Chains A and B, each alone.
Chain A
Amino acid sequence: MFSKLVLATDGSDHSHRAADKAIELAKLSGNASIEIIYVVDGSKSKSDVLQYGDTATVTKKREEMLSIFSNKIAGEGIPSSIKILHGVPAETIIKHVNDNNFDCLILGSRGRSRVQTMILGSVSHKVMKYVKAPVLMVK
């Protein structure tokens, strides 16, 4: 139970709090591992390529950002891995989590701004609705 965890992050403060809770949850079960997933959508691709130039640097920058999470988790002695996915955030998270039989998805409650949420809808709301595994949403 709760041994194969997946943490969805966007690098925001909310996802850092989600990471803390993922670690707590992993400690409870003893032999748990955490997969950290990060979804890159079209507009993120555009702004990252503009900011960092080529795709190799872009990937490196993203891995650096995610290594903050993996180091934090490794520091607690929990095995972890990083996965960068491409697509529309909600749909991509839902598909990845449902396809890989995770025991629990942990995610932060809000990354997008209020205006973005009004236009695009809430990622976490959609994810909660369609992910089959239990979801821990950290406020």
Chain B
Amino acid sequence: MTKVTDEHILGLISKGGADLEHGYRLMMECYQQRLYWHIRRIVVAHEDAEDVLQDSLVNIYRGLSRFRGQSSLYTWMFRIATNESLRFLRDRHGENTPFEQVREKLIGTLWQETGPDSEEILVRFQQALLHLPNRQRVVFTLRYYEEMPYEEMARVLDSTVENMKTNYHYASKKIKELMTK
């Protein structure tokens, strides 16, 4: 079976009409699960991740005809999903709510979402991630879970490679400290 490539998907999309629909379906098959887990790691609750994923998928469709390939398809989609996730958190918790308060709410959600059978170290690890500021948390998850190159991360977050490296370094250090306690 031929592996579906981004070039194949973009080729279909550029033709428009029924081919665009086909390209969109293929894109969902290839990337939906990765997008979901990326969103889930940011917003924590499954129901919230479900909503943000739907919004992201619709926005991706809306933007397909305008996508010009300045970045990879994967980077572009992750940028949309990341923006939607961060916007969700801002809307849900309020722009001016102190970080500590938001953190405690998300930790509470984490414990609700993970049952007694969940592996304790995995829950503690996610809890440690929630101690990071939102953007730093996104930097860490993109690098750690997606193994995204720093150049691509800089495009996702509209930043610089140096900023991404610095944030990842400090995030890793903070998580190690929290997990070692």
The answer to whether A and B assemble together is no
